[in-house]
Amino acid sequence: MAPAEALARLRLSRTEGIGPANFRRLIQRHGSAGAALAALPGHAARSGRAFTAPPPAEAEREMAAVARMGGDFVFLDSPGYPPLLALLEDPPPVLAVLGDATVLKRRQVGVVGARAASAAGRRLAEELAAGLCTAGIAVTSGLARGIDTAAHQGALAAQGRTVAVVAGGLDVPYPAENAALQARIAAEGGVVVSEAPLGTAPMARHFPRRNRIVAGLVLGLVVVEAAPRSGSLITARLALEAGRELFAVPGNPMDPRARGGNDLIRQGAHLTEGAEDVLANLPAQPLELPLFSMRPEPRNAAESPLEAPPPAESTGQLLELIGTVPVAVDDLVRRCQLSAPSVQAILLDLELSGLVETLPGNRVVRSVT
């Protein structure tokens, strides 16, 4: 990727109000991040919202700071981007990585669980991680206290590869006592991954986003000790939604930390007592998935995705066709007098304004306010 486009992508990804899904749609609409940045004022005027991208100097400073740490950036639809993660509906536009980024393209299994884990749970997580690494699987977790920490430590003890997905910036280890473990992972063949800018302190709202990355990276997810309504169960739900295999370790029903895993087993998760149970049920992954692309082909020569924005009255016409019941975008195209690229352009502005939401299956629905 050209340095100018990489810088533009970092700026676009750091623009307030532009989430992962709209990042992708803006580049699909305009052909590059640089062109999308130039078009933001027009989108702001039509959507009624302000989108202020950080200045180039700020993005350059972030790039330089990550480089000084020995890290780098991996961008969506670049060859180094983890292919399974790209299959999510909202893959992170850019990942800051510290360590061996090639580990992100290896077969991975997530091991997550309670922060206040029992000694037995921690030991089992260590043994699971070691067994998976011995079989050539990279172990992925969130660098939290308890089960996460044990999983990373078990992988390192087996001289395997481990992926630590953190909720804050790469320069803000969390929890603080895991700073040495984070450095060790990066130094011993693993990789530390963050979606957040440098200097970001982890907050509660950041952890679900971190959890979706864990779920998106892995072929399967193992839950070791999890209370009801815990973050580990959020990760499990996200893994199921992403089509990943789910595993859970059974526990004593008298221990609240076992309730989450036991419930998952009741719902169909694989009962797991060791690495062999995971390996026996882990789906195969192609050696190379097709490279994800954000640049769709025009339907024909007369329908360029870069045509001029449609008139304002067309926006009202299209919005009238969208209700609280999801409707396919193809149906909208058939029912209005606009080209497919024009419909996509209007939908982008409507989504940026918060009036509609895009759902899986190329469907849209009115936002609930």
Quick one: which of 95, 94, 72 has its CA closest to 24?
Answer: 94
| CA–CA dist 159, 180 (Å, integer) | 17
Q: What is the DSSP letter of 164?
A: E
pLDDT given at position 180: 98
Phi then psi dihedrals of residue 244, to 5 deg: -90, 160
pLDDT, tens digit only, all 369 positions of the chain: 899 999 999 999 999 989 888 898 899 889 999 999 999 998 888 878 888 899 999 999 999 999 999 999 999 989 899 999 999 988 999 999 999 999 999 999 999 999 999 999 999 999 999 999 999 999 999 999 999 999 999 999 999 999 999 999 999 999 999 999 999 999 999 999 999 999 999 998 899 999 999 999 999 999 999 998 899 999 999 999 999 999 999 999 989 999 999 999 999 999 999 999 999 999 886 545 555 566 654 444 333 444 555 666 778 888 888 888 888 888 888 888 788 888 888 888 888 888 888 876 778 888 876
**Two tokens, residue 344:** 């996509």
**Two tokens, residue 103:** 């580990």
| CA–CA dist 228, 244 (Å, integer) | 21
pLDDT given at position 297: 41
Residue with tokens 């998952």: 264
> 33 burial class (0-12, 13-18, 19+ CB within 10 angstroms)?
buried
